[in-house]
């Protein structure tokens, strides 16, 4: 049996509970040896709630010296990610962190370089990749039963009243939420982003300061087009958080409502004004051993054991982040933007 990985978790706010609960599924693999938060009361509270015996501190460097961990979990707010991740990598730790990687592409590139320079693994929580229905959707498209994918559409419509900092953010939908959908699109299609044309607005009646609605048209690799329509101030007829999807392929179409509903049709005859189609047989999605945060964590731990990259490794996830920043640039300038990462 391999030794447990010694873990320091940084950022003991509300989201950290999702990480602690996921980690409880891997008692043979993980031991929390340190908790870091600028508010020591938060760290102490998590230490007690989850019955840990970890070193508690407000300074990551100090806790790293005291505990000598193998892994750092970064659950801090986005402005802190670059400093926390590079500090951990330079100390020789592998890192699993919250999305998004960073506030800027320059920061993200510095984080990737730190991982490469230290020969460490840095991966990002993109928990929507680890849900059985999105895996089913991706696999159905990859099976070739409908031919090659040509167009992928995602609709995201929710009326959510967070209150707090989101109400005052610029580009709130694109920056705070769209990365989930953009990463889902890359996962579903297997394609990488090439360019984007985006438009955002704040509808009358919006309770956000800026950018609660957006439309984006992405050119992806191999000529695939991905379109995104979204709003965070859309009351009624809400989609799921996973979006409503339509994939158009050479020989048919496959839809997914982001929940349990799939529907597909494939062409059966090649003549006529409109071609005859029949329903695509779709079996129930197979259960996954680990889902959500636990799915990401499990793959991360297994990747370290086997010296392979997890699917959300920073060198890949930076492409999803680049989609966000390119969309913001396009919305600000009104021009199509080539995506660089």
Locate 274 and state its tokens: 């409109």
Of 192-196, 213-217, 270-274, 290-294, the poorest mean pLDDT is in: 270-274
267 vs 225: CA distance, rounded Å: 21
Sorted by sequence, the CB contacts under 8 Å of residue 239 that are 6+ apart come out as: 155, 156, 157, 158, 257, 258
Per-residue confidence (pLDDT) for residue 94, from 0 to 100 = 98
Per-residue confidence (pLDDT) for residue 251, from 0 to 100 = 95
In the predicted model, what is the mean pLDDT of the chain? 96
pLDDT band, residue 269 (cuts 50/70/90): confident
What angle do the packed helices 16-23 and 40-49 form, to 10 degrees?
30
* 291-302 pLDDT, tens digit each: 999 999 999 999
Please give the residue that has the higher pLDDT: either 2 or 23.
Answer: 23
pLDDT band, residue 2 (cuts 50/70/90): low
* 188-204 pLDDT, tens digit each: 999 999 999 999 999 99
- The DSSP output letter for 338 is E
87 vs 97: CA distance, rounded Å: 13
Q: How many residues does the chain have?
A: 341
Per-residue confidence (pLDDT) for residue 295, from 0 to 100 = 97
Q: What number is the average pLDDT over the span 282-293?
A: 93
Nearest Cα neighbor of 264 from 274, 277, 273, 250 is: 277
8 Å CB contact between 264 and 146: yes
8 Å CB contact between 72 and 86: no
- The DSSP output letter for 283 is P
Return the percentage of the chain with pLDDT > 90, whole number.
94
Per-residue confidence (pLDDT) for residue 231, from 0 to 100 = 98
Region of 144 please: left (phi>0), alpha (psi -120 to 50) or beta: left
8 Å CB contact between 209 and 202: yes
* 237-258 pLDDT, tens digit each: 999 999 999 999 999 999 999 9
Considering only the C-alpha atoms of the chain, give the largest distance between any 2 of them, rounded to a whole number of Å: 74
DSSP conformation letters of 138-158: HHHHHTTTT-SEEEEEEEEE-
Nearest Cα neighbor of 94 from 117, 70, 75, 76 is: 70
DSSP conformation letters of 23-51: HTT-TTTEEEEEEE-SSHHHHHHHHHHTT
pLDDT band, residue 1 (cuts 50/70/90): very low
Q: What number is the average pLDDT over the span 7-30?
A: 96
pLDDT score of 163 more than 80: yes
Q: What angle do CA 320, 166, 199 make, to 5 degrees?
A: 55
pLDDT score of 49 more than 90: yes
Per-residue confidence (pLDDT) for residue 244, from 0 to 100 = 98
* 101-118 pLDDT, tens digit each: 999 999 999 999 999 999
């Amino acid at each position: 049996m391999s030794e447990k990985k010694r873990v320091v978790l940084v950022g003991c706010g509300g989201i950290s509970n999702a990480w602690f609960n996921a980690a409880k599924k891997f008692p043979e693999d993980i031991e929390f040896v340190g908790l870091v938060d600028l508010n020591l009361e938060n760290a102490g509270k998590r230490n007690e709630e989850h019955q840990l015996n970890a070193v508690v501190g407000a300074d990551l460097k100090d806790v790293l010296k005291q505990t000598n961990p193998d892994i750092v979990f970064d659950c801090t707010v986005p402005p802190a990610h670059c400093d926390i991740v590079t500090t951990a990598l330079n100390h020789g730790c592998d890192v699993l962190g919250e999305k998004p990687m960073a506030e800027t592409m320059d920061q993200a590139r510095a984080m990737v370089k730190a991982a490469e320079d230290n020969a460490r693994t840095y991966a990002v929580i993109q928990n929507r990749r680890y849900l059985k229905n999105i895996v089913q959707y991706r696999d159905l498209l990859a099976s070739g039963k409908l031919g090659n994918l040509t167009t992928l559409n995602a609709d995201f419509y929710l009326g959510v009243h967070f209150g707090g900092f989101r109400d005052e953010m610029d580009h709130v939908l694109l920056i705070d939420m769209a990365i989930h959908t953009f990463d889902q699109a890359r996962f579903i299609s297997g394609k990488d982003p090439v360019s984007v044309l985006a438009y955002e607005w704040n509808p009358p009646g919006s309770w956000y300061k800026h950018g609660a609605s957006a439309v984006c048209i992405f050119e992806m690799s191999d000529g695939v087009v991905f379109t995104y329509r979204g709003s965070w101030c859309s009351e009624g007829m809400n989609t799921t958080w996973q979006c409503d999807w339509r994939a158009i392929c050479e020989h048919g179409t496959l839809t997914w409502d982001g929940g349990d509903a799939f529907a597909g049709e494939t062409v059966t005859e090649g003549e006529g004004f409109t071609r005859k189609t029949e329903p695509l047989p779709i079996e129930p999605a197979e259960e996954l051993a680990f889902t959500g945060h636990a799915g990401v964590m499990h793959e991360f731990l297994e990747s370290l054991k086997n010296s392979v990259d997890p699917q959300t490794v920073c060198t890949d996830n930076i492409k999803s982040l680049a989609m966000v920043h390119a969309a913001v640039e396009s919305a600000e300038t009104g021009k199509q933007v080539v995506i660089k990462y």
